[in-house]
Chains A and B, each alone.
Chain A
Amino acid sequence: MHELSVCQGMLAQVSEIARDHGARAASRIVVRVGPLSGVEPALLAQAFPLARAGTVAAEADLVVEPAPVRVRCERCGAETEAAANRLLCGACGDYRTTLTAGDELLLVSVELVREEEVMSAKR
Chain B
Amino acid sequence: MCDTCGCNVTPGNAHLAHAPQPEGVTAVSVLRGLLSENDLQARHNRTHFDAHGVLAVNLMSSPGAGKTRLLEATIDALRDELRIAVIEGDLETENDAERVRAKGVAALQITTGTACHLDAHMVHDALHRLPLDGVDLVFIENVGNLVCPASFDLGQHRNVVLLSATEGDDKPAKYPVMFRGADLALLTKSDLLPVLDDFEPARAEAALRALASRAPLLTISARTGDGLEGWLAWLRGELRAERERLATHPPASPSHPHARPRARMLP
State the A residues within 8 Å of B (CB).
1-2, 5-6, 9-10, 12-13, 17, 20-21, 23, 27-28, 30-33, 36-39, 65, 71, 84-88, 95-99, 101, 103-114, 117, 121
Bound complex: CA A106 to CA B266 (Å): 17
**B31 contacts A85, C-beta separation under 8 Å:** no
Name the contact of B31 in the complex, choosing from A33, A86, A108, A112 (C-beta under 8 A).
A108
Bound complex: CA A94 to CA B251 (Å): 38
User: Is B195 an interface position by the 8 A CB rule?
Assistant: no
**B212 contacts A32, C-beta separation under 8 Å:** no
**A71 contacts B176, C-beta separation under 8 Å:** no
**B148 contacts A1, C-beta separation under 8 Å:** yes
Kindly list chain B residues whose C-beta atoms are within 8 Å of the C-beta of A9: 34-38
User: Is B245 an interface position by the 8 A CB rule?
Assistant: no
The 4 A-B pairs of least Cβ separation, nearest first, read A38-B151, A87-B212, A85-B176, A2-B148
State the B residues within 8 Å of A (CB).
12-13, 16-17, 19, 21-22, 24-38, 115-117, 119, 147-148, 150-152, 172-174, 176-178, 180, 207, 209-212, 214, 262-263, 265-266
Name the contact of A17 in the complex, choosing from B22, B24, B34, B263 (C-beta under 8 A).
B263
Kindly list chain B residues whose C-beta atoms are within 8 Å of the C-beta of A30: 16, 19
Bound complex: CA A113 to CA B25 (Å): 5
Kindly list chain A residues whose C-beta atoms are within 8 Å of the C-beta of B210: 85-88, 95
Q: A37-B177, A84-B176, A109-B17 are in contact. Are A21 and B211 (CB under 8 A)?
A: no
Bound complex: CA A71 to CA B212 (Å): 9
Kindly list chain B residues whose C-beta atoms are within 8 Å of the C-beta of A108: 13, 16-17, 29-31
Kindly list chain B residues whose C-beta atoms are within 8 Å of the C-beta of A21: 26, 28, 265
Bound complex: CA A37 to CA B212 (Å): 16
**A109 contacts B30, C-beta separation under 8 Å:** yes
Name the contact of B173 in the complex, choosing from A6, A85, A96, A113 (C-beta under 8 A).
A85
Q: A2-B151, A36-B177, A110-B30 are in contact. Are A13 and B116 (CB under 8 A)?
A: no
Kindly list chain B residues whose C-beta atoms are within 8 Å of the C-beta of A103: 177
Name the contact of B262 in the complex, choosing from A2, A20, A33, A36 (C-beta under 8 A).
A20
Kindly list chain B residues whose C-beta atoms are within 8 Å of the C-beta of A85: 172-174, 176, 207, 210-211
Bound complex: CA A77 to CA B248 (Å): 33
Bound complex: CA A22 to CA B246 (Å): 43
Bound complex: CA A30 to CA B31 (Å): 10
Q: A20-B263, A85-B174 are in contact. Are A27 and B25 (CB under 8 A)?
A: yes
Bound complex: CA A37 to CA B26 (Å): 28
Bound complex: CA A116 to CA B24 (Å): 10
**B212 contacts A13, C-beta separation under 8 Å:** no
Kindly list chain B residues whose C-beta atoms are within 8 Å of the C-beta of A112: 25-28
Q: A21-B28, A95-B210 are in contact. Are A36 and B119 (CB under 8 A)?
A: no
Closest Cβ neighbor of A22 among chain B residues: B26
Bound complex: CA A112 to CA B76 (Å): 58
**B30 contacts A97, C-beta separation under 8 Å:** no
**B177 contacts A111, C-beta separation under 8 Å:** no
